[in-house]
Every structure is written in structure tokens, then in C-alpha cells.
Chains A and B, each alone.
Chain A
Amino acid sequence: METKERLEQIFRDVFDDDGLNISDEMIIADIERWDSFMHVQLVIAIEEAFGVKFEIAEAVKFKDIGDIRRMLEEKIAANTHN
């Protein structure tokens, strides 16, 4: 599955909305039911699903879905190179 599709699954699960569609241009804060607790839950879910760990600076700027996808793809690529 593409990173974007896996991300979409996670978003649907965390925000409890099966109809949620994400796009690179979206900002997490635009999603209904978003709050800082759900934000942390989202970070935990993504880290767990992809087996990655975000640095503080990354987790803090974790807002734009396109950014998240690009950060993830870089990390996954780095993991496969090691």
C-alpha cells in the first residue's frame, strides 16, 4: 500500500471517521474533532504503524499532511538503506 493510503487508514481510525479523505494540502487542524490529545494519539499511531520515531522538531511541525507524508517517506527510505 502507498504511504498515503496507509496514512489515510490511520487518520480514519484515529479520528473515528470512515469517510475521511486526506490530501497533501490538508492541515490536521482542519479535521473535525482534532485536539491536542488526538494529535498525540495520531503521532503514536503513525510511529507504531510505520516503525519510525519522530524527532521533537518534526513532531511539533506535524501539521500539514504533505509534510508528514514526505517525512515518513524519508524515514522509510533511510530505514531500508541501513
Chain B
Amino acid sequence: MMTEEEICKRIAFFQDLFTRKGNVFKSASEVLSLSAKFTRIEQLYNRHENAKSLIPKKIAVLAPFTTHYLKMMLKIYLYRDGILPSFYDDKYDSITADLIDTNSELFSFNPDILLLWTYHTDIKQYPDLFSTEAEIKSWVDNIVGYYKRLWALSANIKGCSVFQTNFVSPIYRQLGNMEANYLFSKTNCLNKLNMELILNKAPHVNFVDVDYLASYIGKERWFDESSYLISKQGLSAVATNLSARVISNLLAAGIGKIKKCLVLDLDNTIWGGVVGDVGAEGINVNPNDPLGEAYLAFQKYVMELKSRGVILAVCSKNDEAIAKEPFTYYSDMYIKLDDISCFVANWNDKATNLADIANTLNIGIDSLVFFDDNPVEREIVRQYLPDVTVIDVPDDPAMYVRVMEEAMCFNWLALSKEDVIRSDSYVQDQKRKVSESFYIDYDSYLKSLDMRAKTGYAGMSEIPRVVQLINKSNQFNLRTRRYSEAEVIHMLDNPGEKRILFIDFNDRFGAYGVISALIVIKNDDTAFIDTWVMSCRVFKRGIEYLAVNMIYDVAHSWDCQWITGEYSPTQKNKIVSTLYDDLGFERLSPEEFGYSEHAGVLFRCNISNIVPKHHHIHVESMNSFS
């Protein structure tokens, strides 16, 4: 038995451990040992104040081998990533049985997350040698059909998201090198199967790329024969540890905890040398020098991140003019000044500067990734801004790309059109700001922007982006209710009672894509605004007026008398605390509202009192709202 003092000490230890970002858990046995120690105090830990901010998730792990160690390791990572897990007690090797029987324990457990671990031994019969292409195709179709049925069954569990691993071909090869030469080899059959599964993926399914992880650490370390034979582990301890870290990362992305911005130092980070000392002509970005080439390779990698939607910022201890010189001096550097959404070069401490960057870009401090060659700066940021992900930058610039890859910071669940245009729209914003200064009043500035919006009911093609907005928006978010893709898709089933609305927006400087989403629910004669979120990049354009007109149209089409809404305060959504007041809603006490579980401020508006709000956005409606 542990004494009370030991328990308190241990709780404090884990509180500290879980706030540390970056890779603090090194080895598999360390993580296992931490998990065993944590489990002894887990229940007491969860009663503490700091456990209240954790998001509870019910997780079922189904695999054809023992999931004990995977769950142990996952637990530690999930707590660190802000999730309070409760695990389904699975029966070894019963994936199909659990899913097919709607009376099974799995269904009554009602998981939020179903982790389906596939394994090459799941497939009992592989194509024969000399199978034709058609025979292989029918073998693949048969297995894909099996998974499609499983996905359809899992869709019966309300709000459940599936995370499924892709297949890893085993370490042994029947045909040796010949596997590469024949379509009918097991290696190629599994490759084809992985590909076909992607083509047939259901919307609530996410694949976990364990095939990459296996190749990253090597099949030799991925599989461990004696672990399998002795304790029925399908993966080595090292592989389990790596997978647990990645899966936790992905589940955290599912609740909106993602990194959005890479903040770079300049000197000895994106070029060699200190520009303040040697001048622009003296720094090393020489493509014919191995060191210069390493910096250029890093720049090229950074630009690939940018073009998939990662926002770039610079934070450098320099005079601004000097820091900017190399960008104009060298025409062949990959990163251009225009790629950087926020450029900060001054002599303030970097913790203050990072906070400013987050503020300027209107994103959370916890969405920043900091890359700086100077260990002193890194330590300061770690200490004063523990929410920032600080990369352990090695001395050798040749390894910069690799440490970024190993940190796996930008593991999002899905890529949207909006992500890809986002990193440019911050640069466009700078241009908007310049333009804003030409106008005497804000109204004529807004008119000059030539704003246009497409609005409508969200369908399957808008759902992924709507889900992303619901889970990522923190500031313009009235109630901060998070919904998985599966839950939102469920809402589409009943348009008479639930409506999902979206706004797709652009102006003369560029397109934003879908930047606002709403969920309105009919409740007798009341239309309740369940969800109202908007991207922080389009505040103060009058889009909320457009949105409230859309809500009105929905309420009207349902013959509702009232529109009700709620403001639930969080640390981040102060900006909308008076939104409903501004829109002419009256404040209500909870008793009048008829809901008891609400903790926020409640508002109501009679639809006969609503005057359509004036805005400067030219609207093209995809649906007739009335």
C-alpha cells in the first residue's frame, strides 16, 4: 500500500509530466513503467482539478493479439495529449463477433473511438502463385468488402470514429526478392489491398499509417518473434511505443489539439552564420557547399509544410532590416519574405515574442512549434510557455529535417482546401491591412473588399471542413461543443429537426473557403443554435450578420417562434461573449429556458422582432432557405 504522502507526491509528479510537451518519454520500458505507476493513482488523479480539462473518450482497441501493452502505453500519451481514456475490455481476436452482434458488450460500451488493428495473419488465404490480375482483384475486393461491412456496422454506434491501421507486410517473404516482380506475391497483394481500402474508405474511418512506422524503424525491430510466441504481442515493445504515441497524437487532433504554425529562428537555423556579424553576403546558403546545402534542404522542407497549410513565422534576435536582407540578397533561397505570415526580429525575449506572434496570427499559443538552434532560447520558451512545442534542434543542420519528422507535430486528421490556402491568406491579410489604412471609415473599407459568400446546407462534400471548424475553432465558438465526423453525419439524417449551415467566403485579395459553420436544432417552436463557429481569420467582416440571417431563414422554414442560443465561456472565446446582446437577443435565466444542464448564459429572440442585419457581403445561396 502507498502512504498518503507517496500518493500526493506521485500525483504531483504526473501533473508535471503531463504538462511537458515534446518527447519526454523515451523508451518502451520507461513508458510501461510510468503507466503501471500511474494506474495505481489514476482514480485519485482524475478527482483533481487539473483532470477536469481533460476530454473523456471511450476507446475500444480490437486486434488479433493482446492489446494490454498497447493500451498501457496509449494511456500515458493520451493523458499528456489532453484525453481521459476509458478502455473497452476486449476479448482477444473477436473483432467481427463484437461488431456483428448489436447486443454485444462492445455496443453497450458505446465507444467514441474504435481502433481496429489489422495484421497480416488476419487474412487466412492469400492468392495462389501464378494468380492472374483478375484473380488478385477478386481477392482484394473480397477483403475490402469485409472491411466495408465492418465500417457499416461500426456506423451503428452513434458518434463512433474508426481508426484502422493499414497492413504491414511481414518480415518473411515466401519469394524473397521475387516478391517485387510478381503481382501475386504477398507483399504486392497487401500493397494493393492497402490502396483499395483507401479508395473505399468510409467518411468516419481514419487510417493509421503503421506501414510507414514499420519501415521507419525497420521490420527487423517492428516484429519480435519471441514476444509473439511468449505473450501474444503482435508488435515489438518499441513498435508498440511508437504506435501509441502516433495514435494518441491523432486522437488529440480529433478534438482540435493540433499545431498550426512553425516559428523559425534565422541565424544558423535557415541559413549558416550570423547575418548581423557577417552581413548578407557572408551567410551560408551556398548550394555547392555541403553545409549550405543542408540549410537549403531544410528551407525546401519547410516550404513543403507551408504549401500544405502550416503557417510560417520568424522569431529572431536581430535588427529587422538586417534580418530581412538575406531574403532580397539571395534570389535562390526557397523561403521568401512573402511566405512568412508574421516576421518578428527584435531584441525582446523570445517567450514574449512568441506570445505576440500567436496574438498577431490570432491562434493559440499551444498551436505553435518552435524551431531554434539556440538551446538557451529553447529552454526559456519551455519554461515560460510550456504549451509551445519546442523542437530539440541538433547541432548538425543535416539532421534538421529528420528531427522535424520525428517530432510529428503536424499530424492532422484531414487536409482541407482551406488548410492549403490558409498559409497564404495570412500574407494576404497584411495586404488587406495596408489597404485598410487608405480608408477613413471601416464601412467604406469593407465595401472596398468586394466580399462574396456562398451559403447553404452542408452536404457530404462540406462535412469534413465543417467538422474541422467545429473541432479547431476556439475563439469564435459560442458553446465549444466538439463533434466527430460520424456524429455530424448522423445529424444529416433529420433535416426537419437539425440543420447544418456553412459559409464559403472570398474577397478581392483571395479565397478563404468554408470559414463558418452552424448547427441549428428544432425544439417545438424554438430553433436552438447548438453550434456557431467561425474561423478567426475573418472576424470583423460582418459575416456574423450574414449568419444570423441564415438562422432566421431556418427558424422561419420550421415555423418556429423563437431562436435561442447560448454562450458558454471558455478561456478563449471571450470575443463572442456579447455577440447575442449585439444581435438584439435578450438574456434568459436557465429556468425560463427549460434546459438544466447548461452552464452558460442563455439568450432568446422572437423571430418577429428580427430585422435582417445589414452587411456588405454579396451572397450566393446554394439552397433556398425559406
Binding site for B on A (CB under 8 A): 13-14, 16, 36-38, 40-41, 44-45, 48-49, 53-56, 59-60
Is B32 part of the contact surface with A, judged by Cβ < 8 Å? yes
In the complex, how many angstroms separate the beta carbon of B5 from the nearest chain A beta carbon? 13
Q: Tell me which of B28, B227, B230 has the highest count of chain A C-beta atoms within 10 A of its own C-beta.
A: B230
By DSSP majority rule, is chain A's interface helix, strand, loop, or mixed? helix
Is B229 part of the contact surface with A, judged by Cβ < 8 Å? yes
Closest 9 CB pairs of A and B: A45-B29, A48-B29, A40-B231, A44-B237, A56-B226, A44-B29, A41-B32, A13-B33, A16-B37
B68 touches A37 (CB 8 A): yes
In the complex, chain A residues whose CB is within 8 Å of the CB of B37: 16
A41 touches B29 (CB 8 A): yes
In the complex, chain B residues whose CB is within 8 Å of the CB of A44: 28-29, 32, 237
Is B27 part of the contact surface with A, judged by Cβ < 8 Å? yes
In the complex, chain B residues whose CB is within 8 Å of the CB of A13: 33
A59 touches B36 (CB 8 A): no
In the complex, chain A residues whose CB is within 8 Å of the CB of B237: 44, 48
In the complex, chain A residues whose CB is within 8 Å of the CB of B36: 14, 16, 38, 41
Is B119 part of the contact surface with A, judged by Cβ < 8 Å? no
In the complex, how many angstroms separate the beta carbon of B34 from the nearest chain A beta carbon? 10
**Of A16, A37, A56, the contact of B229 (CB 8 Å cutoff):** A56
Tally of B interface residues using CB under 8 Å: 17
Is B431 part of the contact surface with A, judged by Cβ < 8 Å? no
Is B40 part of the contact surface with A, judged by Cβ < 8 Å? yes
B28 touches A56 (CB 8 A): no
B27 touches A54 (CB 8 A): no
In the complex, chain A residues whose CB is within 8 Å of the CB of B227: 40
In the complex, chain B residues whose CB is within 8 Å of the CB of A48: 27-29, 237
In the complex, how many angstroms separate the beta carbon of A60 from the nearest chain B beta carbon? 7
A41 touches B226 (CB 8 A): no
One digit per residue, 1 when the CB lies within 8 angstroms of any chain A CB and 0 when it does not, for chain B 33-46 equals: 10011001000000
Q: Which residue of A lies closest to B232 (CB)?
A: A40
In the complex, chain A residues whose CB is within 8 Å of the CB of B29: 41, 44-45, 48-49
A40 touches B28 (CB 8 A): no
Separation of A16 and B35 alpha carbons in the complex (Å) = 11
One digit per residue, 1 when the CB lies within 8 angstroms of any chain A CB and 0 when it does not, for chain B 209-234 equals: 00000000000000000110111010
Separation of A53 and B28 alpha carbons in the complex (Å) = 15
Separation of A55 and B224 alpha carbons in the complex (Å) = 11
Separation of A41 and B28 alpha carbons in the complex (Å) = 9
Is B151 part of the contact surface with A, judged by Cβ < 8 Å? no
Is B87 part of the contact surface with A, judged by Cβ < 8 Å? no
Separation of A36 and B27 alpha carbons in the complex (Å) = 21
Q: Which residue of A lies closest to B39 (CB)?
A: A16
A14 touches B230 (CB 8 A): no
**Of B32, B33, B68, B230, the contact of A60 (CB 8 Å cutoff):** B230
